[in-house]
Amino acid sequence: MRTITSDRLLLRPWRDDDADFLLDLESRWEVVRFLGAHPTTMRTRADALASIARRRAVDHPIHGIWAITTAADGRLVGNLLLKPIPLSAGVSAAGPEDVEIGWHLHPDAWGHGYATEAAAAALDDAFSRGLARVIAVTDPDNHASQAVCRRLGMTHLGRTTRYYDGPNELFEKPRG
């Protein structure tokens, strides 16, 4: 998986020695509470290692799941993903698969513009490699994430139950 850079950040593949950080990140309810229809906190380092292996297994010219780190000192700040979005049960695929962008950052790293900067860099990179359109979904109550979508210039298309087995606000951005 390639690395992606921006002014302040380096997005790189997850490594096994990131397990303690990932466990710290995903064991926090404030980080996972809006992720999916049935959010759960991560419990063990073994779970973190298994999750890292799944993240690294994404092998695709455009999609990926990256660790977001600071460019200056390599400090881990969160996760950035770009991948096909799961459809809700009973929804049949129509047309090309929808690719979603998603982010979750450690609370220590909130409020610095890192999520928006990481996502903007990943989107520039993906659009330059041929991605035609990206979507993002957020829980209706996840105003912080909706603000990231707006900062990225994504268009709000309203509420949908098409993905992740629940109601979500849907945003999209076509390649410019």
| CB of residue 176 to ligand COA, shortest distance in Å | 20
Binding to ligand COA (CB under 6 A): which residues in 44-83?
none
Q: Residue with CB nearest ligand COA?
A: 113
**Chain position carrying tokens 């992606």:** 4
Q: What phi-psi label fits residue 27: left (phi over 0), alpha (psi between -120 and 50 degrees) or beta?
A: alpha
CB closer to ligand COA out of 61 and 153: 153
Site membership for ligand COA, residue 31 (CB under 6 A)? yes
> Residue 124, Cα to own-chain centre: how many angstroms?
15
Bridge partner list, 26: none
Residue 125: closest CA among 57, 74, 84, 175: 175
Site string for ligand COA, 144-173 (x = CB under 6 A): xx--x--x----------------------
DSSP class of 119: H
| Candidate ranges 39-47, 127-135, 142-150, 159-167; the one touching ligand COA (CB under 6 A) | 142-150
> Residue 135, Cα to own-chain centre: how many angstroms?
11
Q: Of 115, 121, 122, 154, which lies in the binding site for ligand COA, with binding defined by CB under 6 A?
A: 115
| Candidate ranges 13-21, 56-64, 86-94, 106-114; the one touching ligand COA (CB under 6 A) | 106-114
Q: Of 61, 74, 111, 174, which lies in the binding site for ligand COA, with binding defined by CB under 6 A?
A: 111
The greatest distance separating any two alpha carbons of the chain, rounded to the nearest whole angstrom, comes to 46
Q: Of 70, 142, 162, 167, which lies in the binding site for ligand COA, with binding defined by CB under 6 A?
A: 142
Q: Kindly report the backbone phi and psi dihedral angles of residue 57, in degrees, each rounded to the nearest multiple of 5, phi listed first.
A: -75, -15
Residue 80: closest CA among 159, 169, 13, 29: 13
Q: Name the site residues for ligand COA (rule: CB under 6 A).
A: 31, 34-35, 102-105, 110-116, 138, 142, 144-145, 148, 151
